[in-house]
């Protein structure tokens, strides 16, 4: 983006970690002393070579259990550049037209779909029919019905489907889940989680409803919804929501500029969030019966900073993309089933909530989430 890109905004927010340690870093994240893995690696092909695919490619350079083996792109110049930069074999390079031929390529085990949201369904299903496991970026698709079709296609093809929830393997977020689900400070009563950045490029595909399915709710709000569900370990049953004012009608002619919503959970917690393309915010705060815990920066690429009512949080800064891919690869290489928290059904649950938020904002009514 011309004024302030998501990448630069999130990097500017990354201001380091706290000094005091509340709880020790989990052993799983202590990669310094870990024995180097030298077994079979899972071969991954990235489908779509935009900005986030570059983050994934860099993370895969240091991954132990998987590697970047192929690419799928509609831009020949990108194919040539990536081939040189990452030493990708010519036979592992595809475009969107000949992609289905990947069924005959035993050197590719998994396709990671990093395309605009409206294309997730098509390429997930095509990859599944080619016999490849799939990781698809969030949001999983643009409707809940699309998500269901993707899950069914992977099931019928005998392959596994994961959603790119990188924060599920990030130490600060693993700790938030523990604090919330184990009720370390008692029952969580209130969560405020918001994410936003200032958009400025009218050509950005995320401002095109046909490609994105919606505005900041689809791109950023899904992280807020995910963090609420993840920390509470519950599913919301209803939502109220409000669209924010449109201050730039030219830029936001197709999608919302900002949106605020309130999720209600069975345990009594109310979670209020805003996702926005007109201001910078990156915050998570949870208030429980006997204390609080928070992160700021919170839901971005980090590095994160956090504290609880008992003191600072301090965990290692990890490469989120490398860690996520390695953890998924370990499960697939072992021939095991992916854990529920990263599987396709998790993306479907989030999509149902996002649809309900849009309905609540459009109607002004409280919407039950089924």
The predicted-structure confidence for 8-67, as pLDDT tens digits, reads as follows 333 333 333 233 333 333 434 444 445 789 899 999 999 999 999 999 999 999 999 999
Distance CA 316, CA 153 (A): 38
Residue 223: active-site member: yes
Report pLDDT digits (tens) over 307-353.
999 999 999 999 999 999 999 999 999 999 999 999 999 999 999 99
What does the alpha-carbon distance between residue 51 and residue 148 come to, in Å, rounded to a whole number? 27
> Which has more confidence, 7 or 62?
62
What pLDDT is stored for residue 262 in this prediction? 98
Gap between the terminal Cα atoms of the chain: 37
pLDDT at residue 4 is higher than 90: no
Each residue's pLDDT tens digit, 86-129: 999 999 999 999 999 999 999 999 999 999 999 999 999 999 99
Q: Say whether pLDDT at 244 is over 90.
A: yes
The residues, ordered by sequence, that sit 6+ positions from 278 with a Cβ below 8 Å of its Cβ are 196, 198, 199, 244, 247, 248, 257, 258
Between 24 and 84, the more confident residue is: 84
The active-site residue, picked from 169, 223, 230, 277, is 223
Measure the CA–CA gap between 14 and 320, rounded to whole angstroms. 14
Concatenating the DSSP letter of every residue in 161-187 gives EEE--GGGG-HHHHHHHHHHHTTBTBS
Q: Which of 208, 160, 147 is CA-nearest to residue 350?
A: 147
- Give the pLDDT of residue 35: 76
What is the residue-wise DSSP string for 202-243? TT-GGG-HHHHSSSHIIIIIHHHHHHHHHHHTS---EEEEEE
Looking at residue 52, what is its pLDDT? 97
- For 57-82, the DSSP string reads HHHHTS-SSEEEEEEE-S-HHHHHHH
Q: Is pLDDT above 70 for 151?
A: yes
**Any residues with CB less than 8 A from the CB of 317 and at least 6 apart, and which?**
17, 302, 303, 304
**Token pair belonging to 242:** 């409000």
Sheet containing strand 161-163, strands side by side: 93-94, 66-72, 42-47, 110-113, 133-136, 161-163
Structural domains in the chain plus CATH codes = 37-166 (3.40.50.720), 171-315+340-368 (3.30.360.10)
Of the residues 41, 121, 132, 138, only one is catalytic, namely 138
55 belongs to the catalytic site: no
pLDDT, residue 36, reads 86
What value does the mean pLDDT take over residues 136-154?
Answer: 98
Q: Residue 365 and residue 362: Cα distance in Å, rounded?
A: 8
User: Is pLDDT at 3 greater than 90 in this prediction?
Assistant: no
pLDDT of residue 370: 84
Residue 223 has φ and ψ, to the nearest 5°, of -65, -40
């Amino acid at each position: 983006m011309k004024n302030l890109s998501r990448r630069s905004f999130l990097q500017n927010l990354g201001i380091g970690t706290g000094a005091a340690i509340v709880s020790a870093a989990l052993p799983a994240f202590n990669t310094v002393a870990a024995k180097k893995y030298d077994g079979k690696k899972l071969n991954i092909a990235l489908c779509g070579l935009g900005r986030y695919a570059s983050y994934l490619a860099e993370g895969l350079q240091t991954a132990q259990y998987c590697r970047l083996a192929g690419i799928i792109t509609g831009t020949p110049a990108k194919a040539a550049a990536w081939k040189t930069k990452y030493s990708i074999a010519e036979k592992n390079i595809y475009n969107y037209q000949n992609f289905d031929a990947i069924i005959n390529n035993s050197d590719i085990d998994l396709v990671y779909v990093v395309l605009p949201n409206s294309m997730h369904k098509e390429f997930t299903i095509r990859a599944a029919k080619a016999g490849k496991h799939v990781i698809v970026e969030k949001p999983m698709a643009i409707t809940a019905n699309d998500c269901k079709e993707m899950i069914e296609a992977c099931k019928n093809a005998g392959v596994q489907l994961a959603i790119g929830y990188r924060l599920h393997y990030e130490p600060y977020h693993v700790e938030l889940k523990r604090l919330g689900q184990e009720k370390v400070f008692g029952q969580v009563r209130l969560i405020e989680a918001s994410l936003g950045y200032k958009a400025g490029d009218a050509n950005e595909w995320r401002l095109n409803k046909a490609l994105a399915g919606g505005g900041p709710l689809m791109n950023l709000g899904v992280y807020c919804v995910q963090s609420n569900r993840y920390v509470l370990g519950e599913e919301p049953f209803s939502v109220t929501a409000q669209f924010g004012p449109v201050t730039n009608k030219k830029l936001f002619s197709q999608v919302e500029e900002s949106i605020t919503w309130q999720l209600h959970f069975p345990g009594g917690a109310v979670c209020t969030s805003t996702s926005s393309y007109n201001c910078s915010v990156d915050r998570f705060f949870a208030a429980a019966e006997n204390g609080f815990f928070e992160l700021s920066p919170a839901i971005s690429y980090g590095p994160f900073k956090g504290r609880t009512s008992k003191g600072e949080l301090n965990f290692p800064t990890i490469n989120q993309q490398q860690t996520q891919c390695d953890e998924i690869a370990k499960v697939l290489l072992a021939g095991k089933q992916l854990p529920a928290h990263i599987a396709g059904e998790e993306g479907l649950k989030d999509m149902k909530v996002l649809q309900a938020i849009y309905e609540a904002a459009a109607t002004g009514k409280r919407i039950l989430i089924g």
